[in-house]
């Protein structure tokens, strides 16, 4: 769950929130298969991770983690990782591999040597992970602190990290489910959104679009929550438009009269997910104020776009 406040509690562990691509690594005797949270096989895109099973001291394992890249200063950077994402040409992949190597940072264990480990406690799963993983530049175990969430949040702010994840001791692994046993403590307000359409571009953007119209699920119902026109590079404008063009439809995918009246809107099937940074979500309209496009989230499904709790009192 997101939107949590920092806290200290000896019954919880706290980890840095990694800014990468969530990944399930399926390891056997001879290979590692990397899958996104949507089940997409990403193995070919990250050849330096093909053999990380050799760093795990068991025959079969399924490990949860995050593929990350680092910028010139050594900081975890999604912007840097984006240059490795969605590449298909093997030569291009090899060239970018040399320029921007990635690592798999692991934090949970779902299966080990024929045994389902999801029902074990967090601390037992982590201890097994610590025992079987031999760390190097390609495969790393996440760092964590016990009980002192406020101190880690302060350190994360200093280091420019995205946030902190709090995990309750004793909790099992619940695949595909939101649970209060894992809490995101964000250092900036962001919202995963599904794109519902876009407005036609003018002047310098006449060849692409003006803004994306975005929505999120609020108590199970997909709602329009705003539009974002800033934050795009020219390359990202073209990339987003390429993904949206095949999804065009004549009417909004949701029943919203206000959305249907947006001037110059082109509506699309709600399939493409992006991340939006915002100043606040207003209580009255539940719309984002000052939204800025951050990135596409090809690792997430539309149903992952659940409206974050409103934290600020506003109009």
CA–CA–CA angle 66, 61, 163 (5° rounding): 20
Write out the two tokens for 246.
């095949």
Q: Choosing from 17, 167, 294, 300, which is the catalytic residue?
A: 17
Active site residue 17: yes
What H or E segment, with its residue span, contains residue 234? Answer: helix 234-244
> Rounded to whole angstroms, what are the CA distances from 28 to 49, 77, 213, 288?
13, 30, 43, 45
**Cβ–Cβ under 8 Å, residues 215 and 272:** no
Residue-by-residue DSSP string for 42-103 = -GGG-GGGTTGGGGBSSS-EEEEEEEE-B-TTS-B-HHHHTTTTT---HHHHHHHHHHS--E
What H or E segment, with its residue span, contains residue 140? Answer: strand 139-141
CA distance 167 to 190: 20
Instruction: Report the Cα–Cα distance between both ends of the chain, in Å, rounded.
Output: 25
- The catalytic residues are 17
């Amino acid at each position: 769950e997101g939107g949590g406040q920092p806290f200290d509690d000896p019954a919880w562990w706290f980890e840095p929130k990694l800014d990468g691509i969530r990944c399930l690594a399926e390891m056997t005797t001879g290979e590692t298969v990397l899958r996104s949270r949507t089940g997409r096989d990403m193995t070919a895109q990250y050849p330096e991770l093909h053999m990380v099973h050799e760093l795990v001291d068991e025959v079969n394992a399924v490990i949860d983690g995050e593929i990350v890249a680092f910028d010139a200063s050594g900081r975890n950077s999604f912007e840097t990782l984006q240059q490795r994402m969605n590449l298909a040409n093997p030569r291009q992949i090899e060239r970018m591999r040399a320029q921007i190597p990635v690592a798999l940072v692991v934090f949970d264990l779902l299966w080990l040597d024929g045994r389902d480990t999801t029902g074990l406690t967090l601390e037992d799963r982590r201890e097994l992970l610590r025992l079987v993983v031999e760390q190097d530049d390609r495969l790393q175990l996440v760092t964590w602190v016990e009980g002192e969430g406020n101190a880690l949040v302060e350190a994360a702010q200093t280091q420019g990290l995205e946030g902190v994840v709090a995990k309750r001791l004793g909790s099992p692994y619940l695949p595909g489910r939101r649970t209060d046993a894992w809490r995101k403590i964000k250092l900036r307000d962001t919202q995963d959104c599904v794109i519902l359409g876009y407005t036609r571009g003018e002047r310098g953007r006449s060849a692409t679009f003006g803004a994306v119209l975005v929505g999120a699920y609020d108590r199970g119902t997909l709602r329009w929550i705003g539009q974002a026109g800033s934050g795009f590079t020219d390359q990202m404008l073209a990339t987003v438009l390429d993904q949206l063009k095949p999804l065009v439809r004549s009417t909004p995918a949701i029943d919203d009269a206000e959305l249907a009246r947006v001037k110059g809107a082109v509506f699309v099937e709600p399939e493409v997910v992006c991340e939006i940074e915002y100043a606040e979500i207003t209580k009255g309209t539940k719309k984002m104020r000052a939204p800025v496009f951050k990135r596409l989230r090809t690792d997430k499904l539309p149903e992952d776009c659940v409206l974050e709790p409103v934290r600020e009192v506003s109009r």
